[in-house]
Each structure stands twice: as C-alpha cells, then as structure tokens.
Amino acid sequence: MMETKVDTLQMEFLTARDPESHKGDYGHALLIAGSYGKMGAAILSARACLRTGAGLVTTHIPKQGVVSMQTAFPEAMVSIDGDEAVFSSLPAALERYNVVAVGPGIGTSDKTQAAISQLLNQCAKPMVIDADAINCIAMEKEMLDLVPPNSILTPHHKEFERLAGEWADDFERLAKQRDFSARHKVIVVFKGAHTTVTLPDGRAFFNTTGNPGMATAGSGDVLTGIIAALLAQGLSPAEAAVCGVFLHGRAGDRAFSDKGNGLIASDIVENVPFVM
C-alpha cells in the first residue's frame, strides 16, 4: 500500500504548471527559523521551500540574521523579530500565509518558548513543527493540546523521546508513535534510516529513499522546507508529509551518487528540482 500511495502522490504532484499562472498560485509559506549562530538553518529551510515550488517564502528571523538571509538568499522575504538574537514575537497577519513552519535553529530560550505558546494559540491551520519548536513543546507538554489538528511534527530520535518517553525497541517506538499521532491528532515524521510517517487514523508509511550520507547538519532543516512547500501548494498534510519525505530522500540519493559521504545539506536542496 505504501508504494502505491507514494506513486500516486508523485503523479499528482508532478503536473505541468498552467502557463497563465503566477507566484500567488503556488502558495506563501512562513518559516520561523534561526537564531544567533544558527541562521544557516533558516537559510537552508527557505531555499528548500522555494526549490520545491512554493511561490513565496517569508522568513521570520531575529534582527541579527537579516543581513545573512538577504545576502545568502535574496529570493526570500524577511519578517524581522523584535529581538536581536532569538524568536520572541509573532509576525503580523498570520492568516495571510498558506502554511507556517517553525523550529529550525530557533533555540529554546524562555522568550522563544513563550513565543511558541503564543503561536500555537493563534494559528489554527496545520503547521510544520520541527527541531527546537518540538523541544520547546516537550519542555511544556501542555502545549501539545494547542497544536492544530493534522499538524506535521518532524522529530529525530531524541526529540521524539522527549515528547513520548523512552522505548525498548523499534516495535515499541512504532507503537508509541502511532499512539501519539492518534491521541494528539497529528502527523509524526520520525526521521531515521527508514523514516516513518504515522497518521492520526493509524496508518504508517515507511520511506524507502535516502542514504547514510544524509546524516549531516541541516538535512532536517531541508525536509522542513520541502514539506512546507508542498503544503503551501495545496497538498493535504498527509500527502505533504509522505511525499516530502520521499522527495527529500530521493534528492539525497541523487546527491549521494555524486558526493558520497561528503554530501552536505545544500546538495540535497540543489537536487530537489531534478528529482521532481
């Protein structure tokens, strides 16, 4: 069933664009990412989002990151946080964005944790929640009740352990993951050698793309941007999660064929348009 579903997703997604279309037809994604010393996470995520076809990307970043972002990636727009170094306040008019993704490189300061709580209280659409946003929620688990239904959480091993507790083996972990998705009505992308996607209805998908070379800094930030782009373009959260994981791994496989274990996250981004 997994392979049939993935093949269908590819066919639906890889369609020719209308010659009369414009950037507004392909969604506007908001990426809340980056902090002092970790602006690379925001840049990687934004680049992945546009390379996956989103029409517009706005990055909400701390003041100190503006020059870095606009120099490294001028195609992204910038919403400037009130704090110099961390995510501390929400951008205006959240409703104007088709999707909000939060987490890459934001840290877990008290200001950021408070801003995450505020975001969850104000955003009703399914979100992409990654990295330190997951860690902030794990530190204050009552925030789980505020996560919009069908949001996509993308934890690695330790991040999911902080959310759901320890497990003895992969069978117990999968049971925990399925239970977590059902109980909180969210999609969980458990990142690893065979990334597992669980849906609130109990289904689980095991990805068959990807390679050990992708165990590199920034790879998860790229995945966040890819999934956000698919959501912005109108795929359902379940489709965006499964298809995004597949595309991410396939782009990594193409990069691995050229770079081997020396591949870096930027190589994954640059290969996304080819595998699409």
User: For residue 66, is it within any domain?
Assistant: yes
Give backbone dihedrals phi and psi of 47, rounded to 5 degrees, phi first: -65, -40
Checking if the pLDDT of 93 tops 70, the result is yes
Give the number of C-alpha atoms closer than 13 A to the C-alpha of residue 136, restricted to the C-beta side: 30
Q: Provide the pLDDT confidence category of residue 193 given band limits of 50, 70 and 90.
A: very high
Range of the domain at 53: 2-8+27-271
Pairing mode, if any, of strands 196-198 and 187-190? antiparallel
User: For residue 151, is it within any domain?
Assistant: yes
**pLDDT tens for each residue of 223-242:** 999 999 999 999 999 999 99
User: For residue 16, is it within any domain?
Assistant: no
- What CATH number corresponds to the domain at position 102? 3.40.1190.20
Does 144 or 12 have the greater pLDDT score?
Answer: 144
Q: What is the pLDDT of residue 17?
A: 84
Pair of tokens at residue 255 = 């990069």
User: For residue 276, is it within any domain?
Assistant: no
Q: In Å, how far from its chain's centre is CA 29?
A: 11
**pLDDT tens for each residue of 8-63:** 444 455 567 889 999 999 999 999 999 999 999 999 999 999 999 999 999 999 99
Which amino acid is located at 139 in the chain?
Answer: M
Domain count, the chain: 1
Q: Are 113 and 139 in contact (CB under 8 A)?
A: yes
User: For residue 146, is it within any domain?
Assistant: yes
Tally DSSP H helices, then E strands, for the chain.
Answer: 10, 9
Does 250 or 16 have the greater pLDDT score?
Answer: 250
Mean per-residue pLDDT over the chain, rounded: 94
User: For residue 67, is it within any domain?
Assistant: yes
